[in-house]
């Protein structure tokens, strides 16, 4: 499918979602500058994606049902109006991508503006931290956000910390109560639900752009995950027994990230949300192992400071500050 085809389909969906009345093939042909045969072909392609239309020769087409894909025409009605400088003014969806981060980085190099969001139905080459493969089946939420000149290089770690709180806030609005595992994983019932990965291009002491990749295991079952992740990761559908409406959840996440992102413009950062972040953190008080480079440091997590660093009490009684790393919960230490 070409980019032009995708744009036409989004315009078709938008026309139907904005209209309370049936739309005739002639009217759609006029709006889109296409023949009625071409309009019919695009409607058939939308049906293959999960849209349901009712057609009448005298009345026209009525959209009866639609999927919860992260398409711009489905997400944008849930974004707040008058959103100058906000996120999601441009949303680019595709049924399949290698990786939304790969696409977003390419778009960043081509000059796409701040706030561009890249989404897809399935990722074939999604990556997590340390270049680990990230399984991204149909029904999940796979998206990346392009942030231009987001903050000073010294605040780079704040981006994912702020994003983790934004995702936690948005999920709570949908009745999904999660906790944050330092530094930026989201846990549901002690299992990983969401991962966040930031990739940046720096220029001296500043960041030219950052691409914030977010993957949420949403409307598919745990059995769709690789065998080695079952029991360690979960999905919203498996944990709650019901799906979420993904376009609305994405809109809420973008709104929460935008609200927290404004802290940078106001000269703030993680310190301004530390108390709220700590209240949502599952790590503090737990015995953990942290991988820093090739070294494994073991102890009890006791705090997170104003810069987002993890403070640990090691087994020998000394205190250790971890600036970045990855917590490896042992089987006996999994947080309930």
* Domain edges within the chain: 3-65, 72-279, 287-333
Confidence bin at 295 (pLDDT 50/70/90): confident
Q: How far apart are CA 253 and CA 334, in angstroms?
A: 27
pLDDT digits (tens, 9 = 90+) for 63-119: 999 999 999 999 988 998 755 557 999 999 998 999 999 999 999 999 999 999 999
Q: What is the CATH class of 3-65?
A: mainly alpha
Nearest to 218 by CA among 197, 246, 189, 184: 246
Mean pLDDT is lowest, of 228-237, 272-281, 319-328, for: 319-328
Confidence bin at 331 (pLDDT 50/70/90): very low
Mean pLDDT computed over 200-207: 84
pLDDT for residue 310 is more than 60: yes
pLDDT digits (tens, 9 = 90+) for 26-48: 899 888 889 989 988 989 989 98
Place of tokens 């994983």: 185
Of residues 198 and 20, which shows the higher confidence score?
Answer: 198
Confidence bin at 333 (pLDDT 50/70/90): very low
Give the CATH number of domain 72-279.
3.30.930.10
Give the CATH number of domain 287-333.
2.30.30.100
10 Å CB burial of residue 28 (0-12, 13-18, 19+) is buried
Share of the chain above pLDDT 70, in %: 90
Fold match flag (3-65 vs 72-279): no
In this prediction, residue 336 carries a pLDDT of 29
Quickly count: other Cβ atoms within 10 Å of residue 126's Cβ.
24
């Amino acid at each position: 499918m070409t980019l032009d085809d995708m744009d036409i389909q989004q315009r078709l969906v938008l026309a139907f979602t904005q209209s309370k009345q049936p739309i005739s093939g002639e009217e759609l042909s006029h709006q889109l500058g296409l023949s009625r045969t071409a309009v019919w072909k695009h409607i058939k392609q939308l049906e293959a994606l999960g849209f349901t239309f009712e057609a009448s020769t005298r009345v026209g087409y009525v959209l009866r049902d639609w999927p919860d894909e992260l398409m711009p025409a489905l997400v944008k009605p849930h974004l707040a109006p008058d959103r100058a400088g906000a996120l999601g003014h441009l949303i680019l969806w595709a049924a399949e991508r290698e990786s939304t981060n790969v696409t977003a980085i390419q778009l960043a190099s081509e000059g796409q503006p701040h706030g561009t969001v890249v989404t897809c139905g399935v990722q074939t080459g999604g990556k997590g931290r340390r270049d680990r493969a990230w399984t991204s089946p149909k029904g999940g939420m796979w998206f990346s956000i392009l942030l231009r000149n987001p903050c000073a290089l010294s605040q780079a770690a704040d981006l994912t910390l702020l994003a983790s709180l934004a995702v936690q806030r948005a999920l709570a609005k949908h009745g999904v109560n999660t906790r944050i595992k330092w530094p930026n994983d989201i846990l549901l019932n002690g299992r990983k639900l969401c991962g966040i990965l930031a990739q940046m291009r720096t220029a001296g002491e500043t960041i030219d752009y950052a691409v914030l990749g977010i993957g949420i295991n949403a409307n598919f079952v745990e059995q769709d995950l690789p065998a080695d992740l079952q029991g360690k990761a979960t999905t919203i559908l498996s944990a709650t027994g019901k799906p979420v409406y993904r376009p609305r959840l994405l809109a809420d996440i973008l709104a929460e990230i935008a609200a927290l992102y404004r802290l940078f413009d106001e000269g703030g950062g993680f310190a301004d949300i530390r108390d709220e972040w700590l209240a949502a953190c599952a790590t503090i008080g737990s015995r953990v192992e942290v991988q820093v480079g090739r070294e494994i440091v073991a102890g009890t997590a006791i705090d997170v400071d104003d810069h987002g660093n993890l403070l640990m009490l090691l087994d020998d009684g000394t205190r250790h500050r971890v600036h970045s790393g990855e917590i490896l919960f042992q089987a006996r230490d999994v947080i309930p």
